Every structure is written in structure tokens, then in C-alpha cells.
Amino acid sequence: MGGAVSAGEDNDELIDNLKEAQYIRTELVEQAFRAIDRADYYLEEFKDNAYKDLAWKHGNIHLSAPCIYSEVMEALDLQPGLSFLNLGSGTGYLSSMVGLILGPFGVNHGVELHSDVIEYAKQKLDFFIKTSDSFDKFEFCEPSFVTGNCLEISPDCTQYDRVYCGAGVQKEHEDYMKNLLKVGGILVMPLEEKLTKITRTGPSAWETKKILAVSFAPLIQPNHADSGKSRLVHLPPVAVRSLQDLARIAIRGTIKKIIHQETMSKNGNGLKNPPRFKRRRVRRRRMETIVFLDKEVFASRISNPSDDNNNSEDLEDERQEEEETKSSELKPDPPVNFLREKVLSLPLPDPLKYYLLYYREK
């Protein structure tokens, strides 16, 4: 058992390690990973393992290893306003991170086989919206989840810009998955023990790229023993935003711009140095290896300690660096939710303030 990157002490350190190992490569993906604490999707008694680069499963609840989600997010090439379908949406962790990038005018749907996992995902989504300060840094495309087998999606469903399947896809279902895509869309799925990226370049044209060796539990085949009939899964409709919703998005966007302008003015066009603080340095060298995880196995870059001489040199360099910067380093101030403070200071009725804040609890 092992992970592709070192364990972190908190969510930010886990992301630091994923960046250093080149699993997270773009700013959008980094921001999404930092905004949602992976530990929030664990049951309380298992949270000690949340920042390890390992998969986790308890009953029907399952989370893939962070390095797998990183590769998936990067491969999807997400942009604001796109439509996304998550097959085997599970806890909603991935769908929520995707929603932070899609923004208010995207589409974010998930299909999950187990109804108890759907309820778990809805609870975690509600917790994130109501309690996480990082939520206010984004305009969110809230995911919608439906129960059913993702191999029984109604043939009249809309096609999507991005599709991810979180279970091993058998070769006979490859065309079924491809047909869920719009032209120009991207599908990421485990296919023949490879995490695979497929881009639809035309009505009958595809480009395929193998990303990583993996071993996922296979898709569960539909069971028609009871009735002999298929139970079609009807995806949520692509709804038009209400005028009330659009007004909230516009007002929050305007307030954010005002806060940004005020910050730029105070800091002299943003050139003022922010408080600095150090994270634990992670020393590693890269090598190719095979990593065995719970129901997942993949070839990846894994870190190993350097030899004793290099360790001694690194420790000496670190000591000198700490001495040189000790006088200039400041403990970071607690984060401030400026959007919340600004909304609460407005001369508005309280119900409107709380509506603008999505009825936040903090």
C-alpha cells in the first residue's frame, strides 16, 4: 500500500505535494482543490487518513486517491460555462470541485447507483455551501444528482461537453460512453486498465490518449431480473436560471469587483508584499514505480528519500534559509471573508442579505 505523493498535514499541504509531483499543473485545478477540504468528505472516524494519497472506501462510499482526481481534473480541461456529466458521482467531491470551475452558467449532473450515497453527497454539498468561506470566492455551478445505473441513461438525453466515469468501463461499452459527448467534448474514463482521455473531434471522429495505468472496480451491469425491462435513467433538465438567481449572481459579482478595487487601491495596485509563511519542505526524487491501492493500481511518480549526503545538504540549506528569512517572516492573519462582511454592512433587509449569502451559517 502506498501513495504517489507524501502525506500532507492538512489540505493545503496535500495540494502542495500534488503540485510538486506535477499531478496538479494548472491554476484553475489548484484553486478548486484548495477550496474544498478533502477531509470534509470523510466520515469523522476516518479523517486521519484524509490527506494521504490513498483511496478510501467504507460501505458504498468511495473516494479515489487524490493523484487520480488530479489527473482527471487536468485531463477534462474544464472551462466556465461547460456542461459536465459525472458517471458514478459518489460523494460529490469531484462534482463540487468541477462546479467551482464551471461557474453559474455551466451544467453539472451526476449519476450514482446507490441511493444512500446520493443522500451522503447532498449532505456534503449542503455543508460546503453553508459553512465554507472558500465558497464565496467562486460563483458555483451546483451539482444535481440522480439515482440509477449509468449504463441505462435515456437515449434522448442531452449530450455533454465533459464526461467522467469513475468505474472501469468494459470495451463493449466504449461507444455508449462516446455517444454521451458533444463534438469537441472530452471523455475521461478507465478503459482496459488505462485512465483514458477521448476527444470527440467530429460526428464520427475521435482522438484517444492513454494517461495512466489504473485498475478500477468495473461498472455494474444492469439487472433486469425483476421486471425484464430496462429502468431508464432520466438526467436532470438543463434549466434556465430564474431572474432572482441571475440578480443574486450579478449583485455578488459587482460587490466582488468593488472589494477588488478597494484592495488594489489600499495596496498600491496590489504590489504590496503579502504576509509570508513557510510550509514544511518536501524533499523527493522521482522514479517510476507501481502503486497498489484499494481497488486502484497505477504506475506513477513516487517520492523517495534522497541519500544521506543530499539530506545533509538539504538540511543545511534549509537552516540557512530559515535564518535569512526569519526576521521578515510573519504569521499569516486569519482569512477574512470580505464578501460576507461587505454584504452584511449593506443597508438591506436581513432576509435579502442572507439570500445574497446563500443563507450561510458562518
Q: Note whether 182 and 254 are same-domain residues.
A: no
What is the tally of structural domains in the chain? 2
Q: Which residue has the cell 476527444?
A: 199
| Structure confidence at residue 193 (pLDDT) | 92
pLDDT tier for residue 238 given thresholds of 50, 70 and 90: confident
What is d(CA 43, CA 117) in angstroms, rounded to the nearest whole number?
A: 12
> What is the pLDDT averaged over residues 137-152?
95
> CB–CB of 71/23 below 8 Å?
yes
| Structure confidence at residue 239 (pLDDT) | 81
Q: What are the respective helix, strand and coil percentages of the chain, to the nearest 5?
A: 40, 20, 40
> What is the pLDDT averaged over residues 289-306?
46
Answer yes or no: is pLDDT of 272 > 90.
no
| Structure confidence at residue 89 (pLDDT) | 97
Q: Note whether 181 and 256 are same-domain residues.
A: no
Asked whether residue 130 is domain-assigned, the answer is: yes
Q: Note whether 143 and 21 are same-domain residues.
A: yes
Contacts of 93 (CB under 8 A, 6+ apart): 36, 38, 41, 63, 69, 124
Asked whether residue 150 is domain-assigned, the answer is: yes
**What proportion of the chain, given as a percentage, has pLDDT over 90?**
69
Q: Note whether 258 and 176 are same-domain residues.
A: no
Q: Note whether 213 and 352 are same-domain residues.
A: no
| Structure confidence at residue 5 (pLDDT) | 74
Which amino acid is located at 319 in the chain?
R
Domain with 249 in it: 241-262+340-361
> What is the overall mean pLDDT for the chain?
85
Contacts of 2 (CB under 8 A, 6+ apart): 291, 292, 293, 302
- In the chain the beta strands, taken as DSSP E runs, fall at 56-58, 61-63, 83-87, 107-112, 144-147, 160-165, 181-191, 194-202, 205-213, 285-293, 296-304
Could you report the per-residue pLDDT of 62-121, keeping only the tens digit for each?
Answer: 999 999 999 999 999 999 999 999 999 999 999 999 999 999 999 999 999 999 999 999
Final residue in a domain of this structure, among 208, 239, 270: 239
Asked whether residue 335 is domain-assigned, the answer is: no
> CB–CB of 291/20 below 8 Å?
no
pLDDT tier for residue 134 given thresholds of 50, 70 and 90: confident
Q: Note whether 16 and 78 are same-domain residues.
A: yes
The phi and psi torsions of 40 (rounded to 5 degrees) equal -65, -15
Could you report the per-residue pLDDT of 208-218, keeping only the tens digit for each?
Answer: 999 999 989 99
- Angstrom distances, CA of residue 136 to CA of 82, 189, 249, 278: 21, 31, 11, 26
Which of 30-39, 115-124, 263-272, 350-359 is least confident? 263-272
Asked whether residue 289 is domain-assigned, the answer is: no
What is d(CA 93, CA 80) in angstroms, rounded to the nearest whole number?
A: 18
Q: Note whether 137 and 252 are same-domain residues.
A: no
Asked whether residue 200 is domain-assigned, the answer is: yes
Asked whether residue 272 is domain-assigned, the answer is: no
C-alpha cell read off for 115: 441511493
Answer yes or no: is pLDDT of 284 > 70.
no
pLDDT tier for residue 304 given thresholds of 50, 70 and 90: very low
Pick the more confident residue, 314 or 186.
Answer: 186
Q: How many C-beta neighbours within 10 Å does residue 353 have?
A: 15
From 6, 64, 83, 132, active-site residue: 64
> What is the pLDDT averaged over residues 158-172?
96
Asked whether residue 234 is domain-assigned, the answer is: yes
| Structure confidence at residue 2 (pLDDT) | 38
Strand partners, 286: 303
C-alpha cell read off for 139: 460563483
Answer yes or no: is pLDDT of 147 > 70.
yes
pLDDT tier for residue 267 given thresholds of 50, 70 and 90: confident
Asked whether residue 354 is domain-assigned, the answer is: yes
205-213 and 285-293 strand pairing: unpaired
Q: What is the CATH number of the domain that holds 111?
A: 3.40.50.150
> What is the pLDDT averaged over residues 25-54?
96
pTM above the 0.85 mark? no
64 noted as active-site residue? yes
